Structure formats: structure tokens, C-alpha cells
Amino acid sequence: TAKSGGKGRAQIFHAQLDTDYHYRQRLKADLKQAVQARSLSLAFQPLLDITTRRVVSCEALARWEHPELGEISPAVFIPLAEEMGIICDITEWVLETAARECAGWSGGVGVAVNISARDFRTLDLAGAVDEVLACSGLKPERLEIEVTETAVIEEQHMARNVLEALSERGIGIALDDFGTGYSSLSYLNALPFTKLKIDRSFLTDIDENPRALRLLASVARVGRDLDLTVVAEGVETEAQLAHLLNHTDVQQVQGYLFSRPLPASDAAELIRRMNRAAVRPNLQVAGVV
């Protein structure tokens, strides 16, 4: 019975793989069409200065509303696009669209665009950025590129050239999801980063676990010591915010506590509203502690 049980499991496993295979094939075909038809959209999520609570920039996040399957997560379709070799088309479109939106935002609020490892090889990123800046009239200081540790390691040589070219233009370069990849610290100095985005996994239980808080504080300290702007991603509660403010060197925060990623028009409105409010959050946060 052990044998037949094993076989049964194997069959179920194969059936699952088969379904996954066909599902993926379908998604790939539909994704290719969606990219060609330019039917992806962008959502924008604000990053706030932790002390003033003003919006300093927004991260552009790709969205795909599938006509039959509904919203497909970028965690699913971005890797598919990488596999298919069409990520560079998406990146170019995101850059263009994000820069156009950003040019309309008040108060010099910036925009951040995510790039993939593959973009380093298949896209003339510096050329694309030059074009986008020229077309939108955006100052380079308002554009930021987000790249993960994994992407940087996978494409070390190309990454260095491209990131240095961007850096010379005055474009900010953020190391995204810090702490989840190879977490080798040496390339923090080897590449021209301006910002460190600490992955949200580091925030998970900082309000209950003192060691978790100390680890996060140490990571933030490393970033500050290297003169990087330190960001905490995935801030969901006032308690987390209070701990970040009182016990770490984190300078900017991003997360559902402030806003989910929003459609462009809502993001523009949010920026106006939040930056007009001119809050003094310290008083507010002090009440939470």
C-alpha cells in the first residue's frame, strides 16, 4: 500500500504540475498581449519622512488586471516577464509612466521605479532614463531606481556600470528588500547606493520581541553609518512606527499604515492632502508609546 500510495501521490503531483504548466502558459500568452496593448497599470505607494510625516516620494508598482482571472500579483507576473524576456518592455513603460505622473506632483515629491536583474543586460537603462527625463522634464534628483541584492549579485559587472552611469546623472539608487538576499555587506560600499530599504520581514514583531527590534536597529545603523537614507518597508501599525521613531535610525517609512499603493489620480490627491496637513507626528506618536 505504501507503494500504491506513493504512486497516487505522484499522480496528484503530476496533475498539479500539469495544471500549473498550462496555467503558466496561458498567463504568459496573456501577459505578452497585455504588455503590447499597454494594459498594465501603475499603483503608487508613498514614502514618508518619519519625523514630519510628509510624503517625500512614491514607489511605482506594476498592476495587471486580467480580464478573466482578476488581479495577478507582480510577484507572479514579473518573474514570468523576466523568463519571457519582456521585462525590459515593462520597465521602459513603467519609467515613462512614472516620470510623467511624478512631473505633475507638487512639492518636488519623487518617484521610485523597480528594475530587474535582467534589465541590466537587455535594456540600455541609462539611455532610457535620459529619454524619459527629457520627455517629462523631470529633474534627475526626483527619480530613483530600486534594485534588489539578488539582482545586483546576479549581474555584478553590468550592475556596476549601469548604476554608476545613473549615479553620475544624479539619480538615486535604492537597495530594495535589504536583508532577504545574499546579505553580503561588502557591495554596500562597492556600488553607488543612496538608500537602503530594509525588508518588511525585519519589522514583523519589533513591538513584542526586543531582539527583533535590536536587529532592525543595527541594520538601520549600518545604513546610516554609510550615509544612506534608511527606509523601513511594510509599516502596518502605530506601535511599529513608534518603535522605529524612538529606537532606530530609520528616516523614511512606507506601508499600509500610511497608504496602500494607489491609482495615479488618488496618489496625486493623497500627496496634496498629506503634505498640506503639515502634521507634527511626534506628539501623536508619543501618545502611543
Q: Which residues bind ligand C2E (CB under 6 A)?
A: 45, 61-62, 73-75, 78, 94, 114-116, 146, 176-177, 200, 234-236, 254-256, 261
Nearer to Mg ion, 43 or 285 (CB): 43
Tell me the C-alpha distance between 166 and 146, whole Å. Answer: 12
CB of 190 to ligand C2E, least distance (A): 22
Under the binding rule (CB under 5 A), the answer on residue 149 touching Mg ion is no
User: What is the 3-class SS of 232-252, one letter each residue?
Assistant: ECCCCCHHHHHHHHHHCCCCE
CB-based contacts of 5: which residues, under 8 Å, 6+ apart? none
CB of 73 or CB of 183, closer to ligand C2E? 73
E strands, the chain, are 41-49, 55-66, 70-72, 110-114, 143-148, 172-178, 195-198, 229-232, 252-253, 262-263
C-alpha cell at 125: 537603462
Minimum distance of ligand C2E from residue 9's CB (angstroms): 32
Q: If you count them, how many residues does the chain have?
A: 289
**DSSP-derived 3-state class of residue 58:** strand
Contacting Mg ion (CB under 5 A), which of 177, 196, 232, 240?
177
Say which entry of Mg ion, ligand C2E, none residue 132 contacts (CB below 5 to 8 A, set by partner kind).
none
Considering the complex, state which of residue 31 and residue 232 has its C-beta at the smaller distance from Mg ion: 232
Closest residue to ligand C2E, judged by C-beta, is: 255
Site for Mg ion in 87-126 (CB under 5 A): 114
| Interface size with Mg ion, residues (CB under 5 A) | 5
State the binding partner of 179 from Mg ion, ligand C2E, none, CB within 5 to 8 A by kind.
none
Question: Among residues 10 and 69, whose Cβ is nearest to ligand C2E?
Answer: 69
| CA 277, 282, 283, 286 torsion-angle sign | positive
Among 89, 144, 146, 155, binds Mg ion (CB under 5 A): 146
Which residues make Cβ contacts (< 8 Å) with residue 200, sequence separation at least 6?
232, 233, 234, 235, 255
Q: Which does 97 bind (CB under 5 to 8 A by kind): Mg ion, ligand C2E, none?
A: none
Decide: 78 and 25 in contact? Cβ < 8 Å.
no
CA 279/CA 53 separation, integer angstroms: 7
Q: What residues from 233 to 272 belong to the interface with Mg ion (CB under 5 A)?
A: 233
Stretch that binds Mg ion, among 40-48, 116-124, 146-154, 165-173 (CB under 5 A): 146-154
CB of 121 to ligand C2E, least distance (A): 14
The verdict on 176 binding Mg ion (CB under 5 A) reads yes
CB of 282 to Mg ion, least distance (A): 26
> Which H or E run contains 179?
none
The contact set with Mg ion (CB under 5 A) reads: 114, 146, 176-177, 233
